Amino acid sequence: MRTELTVNGATHVVEVEPRTTLLDCLRDNLRLTGAHAGCEHGVCGACTVLFDGVAVRSCLIFAVQADGVPITTIEGIAPGPGELSLIQDAFCETHGMQCGYCTPAMILTAHALLANNPSPTREEIVNAISGNICRCTGYAQIVEAIALAAERMRGANRPAEAT
């Protein structure tokens, strides 16, 4: 089926079988391999992308359903080549990862959280990432990364005279 995908601001026309998941389409057709398959049944969250700004599992959406919906993947997060977003940088600062497999999904989930809640409590952060399984870290440094990013974003968004 002919499907028009808008990913990271660019529009792509792809020809996919209806059974192709958005995850497989992003990876195989668009070669955006930052979204990862972990369980392919909606539990681990490693395939998370932003779908109209909302964090969702791309393994539970067929590509044909995504026709025309703005999608953001991890590849659309860095401001420029070699340049990290504030959240990405915070993950590096706390080492909020190890193997890196769940990391893009964690960062997108953090983006979705902080877009709606600039000052999340620890509990709110824990809750937000509870649908993203990380087997390496025990989550502590991930929670710290998101808290640090929130703090820095609040700082960055403060009027100059107040800082």
Partner 1 sequence: MSVPSHFRFVSTDRRVREDRRFVAGKGRFVADVEVANTKHVALVTCPYAAARIRSIDKKAALAMPGVHYVLDGRELAEATNPLATGLDTPNVPRRPLAVDVARYSGEWVVAVVADTRALAEDAAEAVEIEYEPLPFVLDAEKALGKDAPLVHEAHGTNVLLDRTFTWGEVEKDFAESPRKLSLRVKWARSSTVPVETFGVLSSWDPWREILDVWASIQMPRYTEQIAGALKIPMSSVRLHHDVDVGGSYGIKRGIKHAVLTGYLTRRLGLPVRLIEDRLENMRGGDAHGPERLFDVEVAFDDNGVVRSMKMRALENVGAYAGRSPFQLGKPIGSIVGPYKIKSVQYRAMAVVTNKTTQEAVRGFGQGPTNLALERMMDEVANALHLDPLEVRRRNLIRHDEFPYRIPSGTEYDSGNYETVIAKVIAGGRYDELKQERDRLRREGMLAGIGIAACLEPSGGNATFEALINPKVTTSTFMDSCRINVDGSGAITATMHTTSSGQGHETLVATVIGEVLQIDPDTIRVTRPDSLASLPSGTPVGSRMAIMLGGAAFHAANKLKDKLIRIAAHDLGIPLERAVYEQGTVSDRDARAKRRTIKEIATIADRNYHRMPENMEPGLSVSHVMQVPTGGKLPTPDGRVQMYPCFSFEFHLLLLKIDPDLGVPEIVRYRLGHDCGTQINPKIVRGMTMGGVAHGIGAALYEEFAYNDDGQLIAQTFMDYVLPSSHEVPAVEIVDHETPSPHTVLGQKGSGESGYLGAPAAIANAVNDALRPLGISLNTLPLKASKLGDLIAAA
Partner 2 sequence: MKAAPFEYSRPANIDEACALLAADDGARVIAGGQTLVPMMAMRLARPSRLVDIGRIGALSYIRDDGDGIAIGATTRQQSVERSGLIAERLPLLAKMMPWIGHTATRARGTVGGSLANADPAAELELAAITLDATLTYRLAGKSVDTPASEFFLGAMTTALPAGACLAAVRFPAWPEHRIGTGFHEVSARRSDFAFASAAAQVAVDEDGTCRRIAVGVGAVTESPLRLLEVERQLTGTRLEDSKVRDVVRGALADIETMSDLHATADYRRRVAAKLAMRAILDAGAECKAKSHAH
Enumerate binding residues for partner 1 (CB under 8 A).
17, 19-20, 27, 31-41, 43-44, 46, 73-75, 77-78, 84, 88-89, 91-95, 97-104, 107, 126-127, 129-143
Interaction between residue 19 and partner 2 (CB under 8 A): yes
> Which of the choices partner 2, partner 1, none does residue 8 contact, using the CB cut-off of 5 to 8 A by kind?
none
Q: Which of 97, 95, 103, 126 is nearest to 113 (CA)?
A: 126
Shortest Cβ distance from residue 6 to partner 1 (Å)?
18
Interaction between residue 155 and partner 2 (CB under 8 A): no
Write the DSSP symbol of residue 53. T
Q: Which of 75, 39, 76 is nearest to 60 (CA)?
A: 39
By three-state DSSP, how is residue 47 classified?
Answer: coil
Residue with tokens 């709110």: 124
Cβ-based nearer residue to partner 1, 6 or 98: 98
Distance CA 42, CA 73 (A): 17
Interaction between residue 73 and partner 2 (CB under 8 A): no
